Amino acid sequence: MFATTLFRGVGVKKLSAFVLAGMAGLAVQTASAAPIPNINSLQDLINLGHTGIIIGDKQFFDFSYIGSPTSGPNPAPTAGQISVAQAPGSNIGLSFSYAWQSAEGFNQDSVIRYSVHTLDAAAQMFIDGVGLNFNGTAPVPGTLTNATVTETVSNLAGTVLGQTTVFDDGPGGAKDTDNSMIAVTPASRDVVITKDIQVHSTGTGNGGGVSTISVVDNTFHQIPEPASLGLVGLGAIGLLRRRAR
């Protein structure tokens, strides 16, 4: 009953195609994502409070979540329904996944917020960039139909250090952007991430429309990079040897 109401006018063939495409995108994007021990969902991270989890040299903590709408024919997911893993790639990060979808004006909005602390004080590591990647699509375009994630990076005092948006409204619309790097200025050992995940579509009176998101990744770039630190260390050792001669 819900599926019939939500996707009325989309067409069975088109609906099947977009569902399969969304599932395929999820499989591709999460193929190299590593699980986090004892953590399956965003709710698990929220339950850890200020302690959080440690991945590599970073502590992730103080997670919170607001989803809307909370009821009706197409409610936003609960924190327990959003899966969490380590982001794929060489940089440390998190991957959030769920089948966010909107059709014929039934929209969803999920806001995830958390803090990140770089642990290695001796190495003076500072986060200078936050990577954002998603697999949003609008397989059935319509007026105002789009998938977007807007990400804001702040310091502990609430001052905004950087912001970006990734966006997809299907063929023929604005230029789509699936990934972006936020420059964090000034670089900091402590940042607060606010991630606003939205899927919008056109109502039935405007031709329908479908938008989806199944994966949103965050990665963190820092200075100096570990490889650079190694080279600095080797250079210092060489200098000491020369002085000793």
Query: Across residues 216-242, what is the average pLDDT?
Result: 56
- What is the per-residue pLDDT for 226? 47
For residue 149 the two structure tokens come to 């994630």
- Over 60: is that where the pLDDT of 227 sits? no
Which position has the token pair 């499989």?
Answer: 27
150 band by pLDDT with thresholds 50, 70 and 90: very high
Q: For 156-198, how does the pLDDT look when each residue is reduced to its tens digit (9 = 90+)?
A: 999 999 999 999 998 777 778 999 999 999 999 999 999 999 9
Query: What is residue 206's predicted lDDT score, i.e. its pLDDT?
Result: 64
What's the 3-state SS for 151-210? EEEECCCCCEEEEEEEEECCCCCCCCECEEEEEEEEEECEEEEEEEEEEECCCHHHCCCE
User: What residue spans define the domains of the chain?
Assistant: 2-244
Give the pLDDT score at 207: 65
pLDDT cut 70: percent of the chain above it: 76
pLDDT surpasses 50 at 211: yes
More confident residue, 223 or 113: 113
The better pLDDT of the pair 41, 170 is held by 41
Confidence of residue 120 (pLDDT cuts 50, 70, 90): confident
How far apart are the C-alpha atoms of 210 and 228, rounded to whole Å? 46
Calculate the average pLDDT of the chain.
81
Distance CA 106, CA 69 (A): 9
Q: What is the pTM of this model?
A: 0.80
Does pLDDT of 236 surpass 90? Answer: no
What residue spans of the chain are helical by DSSP H? 2-6, 12-30, 42-47, 226-244
Of the chain, the percentage scoring pLDDT greater than 90 comes to 62
What's the whole-number mean pLDDT along residues 31-52?
92
Whether 117 has a pLDDT exceeding 50, the answer reads yes
pLDDT of residue 225: 55
What pLDDT was estimated at residue 32? 67
d(CA 29, CA 178): 12
- Please state, as a whole number, how many other Cβ atoms lie within 10 Å of the Cβ of residue 67: 21
Rounded to whole angstroms, the Cα distance separating 45 from 53 reads 8
Instruction: With a cut of 90, say whether residue 15 has pLDDT above it.
Output: no
Question: Given a cut of 80, is residue 44 above it in pLDDT?
Answer: yes
